[in-house]
Structure 1
Amino acid sequence: MGRPMAPQQLQQQARGASPVVCQGVKLDAAMQALLEDAIARSTCTVGDRVGIIGLKFAEENLKEGCPIMESAIRLALYLRDYRNKQIAGRTVLELGTGIGVAGLTMAAFGANVLLTDLPEVVPVASKNVNKNADLVKGAGGLAQVAALDWSNPPAELVTGPWDYIIGSDLVYDESSPDALAPVLSRLLGASPRATVLLSHVHRTDAIDDHMTQVFQQHGLDIGLAPRDGEDKGEDDVSIIMVRRL
C-alpha cells in the first residue's frame, strides 16, 4: 500500500474527475424516525439507508445489532441531511473508520477523504474503498486508507489542513477519551477551523462524564451538532461537535 497523499494532493487529484451531484432528501422528524426504524428491520443495504444508490460494503450483514456500524450509519445520515451541500471538495480525516461507512459517504458526496484506523483494520477498509472506487470517482471525490496510531500520528497528517474530522463510536469505555482527546487537540491546533463531528454511543453516564472532563482538560468543548426544528436526534446515539475552548 502506497503512502497516503497530503490534503493538498487529494484536492489536486480529485479535480480531474467530473462531479456528479448526490442530493439527500430531508424528511420531517416523525417520518424520518418511522422510515429509519423500518429500514433498520429490513434487509436493505447501508447504501439504501444513507440514500446513496450503489454504495456497498462487503460486511453488510454486520449492521444488525452492531453499535459501531449503527453509529457510523447515524453519522452518515447526519452528514447527508445537514452537510451534503458543503462536502464537495473538502478534505476529511476519519478516525477509527472501521469498514468505512461514514468516510465513504462523504467521499460519495465529493469529498477528499483519508480513512484511518488500526493496522489490522486497514485491509477491511481498503477492500470497501476499492468496491466503491467508481462511485467515488464519479462524484468527484477521493478516498484513501492509512494506518494511524493516535499516540504517535505523523506530522504531515496532523498539519493537514483538514476541513472536517469525523469518527464513530470512538469513546466506548473510560480509557478511550484519554487516547482520543490529545490527538483531537493536536489536529485542531493545526486546523483550528476544522469541523469535528463524532457519532457517540451513550453507554453509561460515567463514560460520558469522563469524556467531558478529559476533553476539557485538553482544551476541548463538546456540544450537540446543530439540527433543524423538531429534529432532536436519537437518545442512544448523539452527533457531537468538538471545538477548542
Structure 2
Amino acid sequence: MGCNADTKAFERWNTHFSTIVEQEVLGVNLRLAQDPSSEHLGTTVWDASIVLAKYFERQNMRKGEFSRAKASGKRAIELGAGMGLAGLALALIGANVLLTDVAEVMPLLQRNYDNNLSAAALRAAALRSAVPAAFDYVLAADCIYHETLLRHLYRVLLAVTNERSTIIIANERRSESVQAAFTSLFSQAFSFKKVPLAKQDPEFCHPAIELYVLKKKKGASDASLAALEAQEAAESAAAAAEAAAQAHLAATTSGLQRLVVQEQGLAQQQQQQQQQPPQQPQQQQQLDQQQQSEVGAHNNDSKQQQQQQQQQHQQEQQDPAAEQFPGSSGVSQRSKERLEATSSQPQLLLQQQQDQQVPWQTRRAGVEAARLLAAVRVPQDVHLAAKQ
C-alpha cells in the first residue's frame, strides 16, 4: 500500500490550534497537552512526530527493527522531544525512554509524561550536557529546520552513541540548503539509510516528511569531533577577519565622508565669498572717505580763518590813525583789542616796548611790527627768544 498525501498526519487545523491533541498508538489513546499560543516551537505537536510514532507501531506489527521483541528493555533517548509523542510510542513497545528538551518546554512535557505512562517505562528530563552515553536508540523528530542547529545535534549524537546504536531521524523537508548541509555534515560520521514510504503507515505519511536510520561509523567520534573543531576554528578566524575588514571599511568610509563634507563646506564658503564683495575693503574705503572729509573740513576752516584775518588786516589799514599823545602807546583802541584777543605773545612784545620808553618817533614802527606779528602768529619759541 502506498502513501496517501491527504493523510491524518497533516490535519494541521486540528493539531496546531488546540490545547489537547489525541493520538491512538498501539491501541492506546494518548492525550497530549500543548500550547499553540507559545512563542516556543517545542510546545506544539508536529506532524513529523506523528509519522514517527505510527512508524514504530507498524514496525512492531511486522517484527521489524523496533518490534517489541527487539526493543523491550532497551535504553532510548529522544532529543528535542517537544510534547513527547514519539518517545511515548517507543515506550509503549517496551523501551526505557528518556525524554529531553530545553527548560521552557519541560512543564508541558512533564504533564504528558504524568498523564500517559508509568514511571517504570518513561522519564522526562531537561537536556543537559552530561547525559548518559551509548544509548541503544536515539530519536529526533523535526529537529532539523535551521543550519545553526545541525552542529549542536551532530555533537550530541556523537556523544550518546556507539557503533551498535540506532539513530532514527524524522524531518519535514522545508529548505533544500538545510537538507544539503545536514547530509554533508552527518555523512562524515554516520551512514545513512532512508526509510521508503512503502514501509511507513499509509495513513500517516507524506512525501515531505522523511525518515532516516543512521549508524555511527567505526572510530568516528574522535576524528569527527576533531575535524568539526578544526572547521569551526577556521570559520571563526574567517569570521573575525571579515568583521575586522568590515570595521576597517566602515571607519575608512566614515573618514572619507567627513572629508567630503569638509570639502563641500569649503567650496560653499569660497563660492559665497566670490559672489559677495569682501567686507573688510568696504570698511577701509568708508574709513578713508571719512578721513578725507575730515581733512577737507579742516582745510576749509583754515582757509576761512586766513581769509578772515586778511580782511581784518585790510580794514585796520584803511582806518585813520588814532590820535597819539606823548606817553601813549601809539596804538588805536580797536587794534589793541584785536591784539589782546588774538594772541598773548604780541601783547608781551608791546609791553616790553613800553617798558623800555621807546622814543615817540619810533613808536609808529613798533605798532606796525606788532600788527605783523599778530597776523602771522609767531610761534612760542620765537617770542621767547625775542624776549631774551
Pairwise CA distance, 1:43: 5.7
Matched, 1:78 2:51: no
- Report the CA distance shift for 1:61/1:237 in structure 2 as closer, same or farther (over 3 A): same
Give the aligned partner of residue 125 of structure 2.
146
Letter in 1 for 2:48: S
Tell me the TM-score normalized by structure 2: 0.45
- Report the CA distance shift for 1:203/1:166 in structure 2 as closer, same or farther (over 3 A): same
RMSD over aligned Cα atoms: 3.1
Any gaps of 5 or more consecutive residues in structure 1? 1-27
Rounded to whole Å, the distance in 1 between the matches of 2:23 and 2:201 is 22
- Report the CA distance shift for 1:60/1:51 in structure 2 as closer, same or farther (over 3 A): farther
Contact kept? 1:68, 1:169, Cα under 8 Å: no
Give the aligned partner of residue 238 of structure 1.
210
Pairwise CA distance, 1:52: 3.4
What is the SS of the residue equivalent to 1:172?
coil
What is the SS of the residue equivalent to 2:124?
strand
Deviation larger for 196-205 or 103-112: 103-112
Pairwise CA distance, 1:35: 8.2
Pairwise CA distance, 1:158: 3.6
Deviations 1:112-142 (A, max 9, x none): 1000011111111111000013xx47xxx51
Rounded to whole Å, the distance in 2 between the matches of 1:59 and 1:214 is 32
What is the SS of the residue equivalent to 1:127?
helix
Say how many residue pairs are matched: 198
Letter in 1 for 2:23: G
Contact kept? 1:67, 1:201, Cα under 8 Å: no
Pairwise CA distance, 1:37: 3.8
Letter in 1 for 2:151: D
What is the SS of the residue equivalent to 1:119?
coil
The equivalent position to 1:210 in structure 2, one of 164, 178, 181, is 181
Letter in 1 for 2:33: A
Matched, 1:47 2:18: no
Contact kept? 1:197, 1:225, Cα under 8 Å: no
The equivalent position to 1:170 in structure 2, one of 121, 133, 143, is 143
Structure richer in helix, relative to its length: 2
Give the aligned partner of residue 95 of structure 1.
79
The equivalent position to 1:220 in structure 2, one of 183, 190, 199, is 190
Deviations 1:14-36 (A, max 9, x none): xxxxxxxxxxxxxx335xx3783
Pairwise CA distance, 1:243: 1.7
What is the SS of the residue equivalent to 1:175?
helix
Residue pairs, 1:16-35, within 5 angstroms: 28-29=1-2, 33=4
The equivalent position to 2:31 in structure 1, one of 38, 47, 56, is 56
Rounded to whole Å, the distance in 2 between the matches of 1:56 and 1:239 is 24
Pairwise CA distance, 1:51: 4.5
Pairwise CA distance, 1:53: 2.4
Deviations 1:169-226 (A, max 9, x none): 11111111111111111222xx321110011110111000001112134x12332136
- Report the CA distance shift for 1:35/1:107 in structure 2 as closer, same or farther (over 3 A): farther
Larger RCO (CA under 8 A, 6+ residues apart): 1
Letter in 1 for 2:100: T
Rounded to whole Å, the distance in 1 between the matches of 2:30 and 2:200 is 29
Pairwise CA distance, 1:148: 1.1
Give the aligned partner of residue 164 of structure 2.
193
Rounded to whole Å, the distance in 1 between the matches of 2:122 and 2:102 is 17
Contact kept? 1:171, 1:200, Cα under 8 Å: yes
Rounded to whole Å, the distance in 1 between the matches of 2:10 and 2:172 is 20
- Give aligned-pair identity as a percent: 26
- Report the CA distance shift for 1:53/1:169 in structure 2 as closer, same or farther (over 3 A): same
Give the aligned partner of residue 262 of structure 2.
none
What is the SS of the residue equivalent to 2:23?
helix
What is the SS of the residue equivalent to 2:156?
helix
Give the aligned partner of residue 96 of structure 2.
112
Q: Which has the greater radius of gyration? A: 2
Rounded to whole Å, the distance in 2 between the matches of 1:164 and 1:38 is 24
Contact kept? 2:26, 2:92, Cα under 8 Å: no
- Report the CA distance shift for 1:208/1:39 in structure 2 as closer, same or farther (over 3 A): closer
What is the SS of the residue equivalent to 1:162?
coil
Rounded to whole Å, the distance in 1 between the matches of 2:36 and 2:27 is 18
Matched, 1:69 2:46: yes
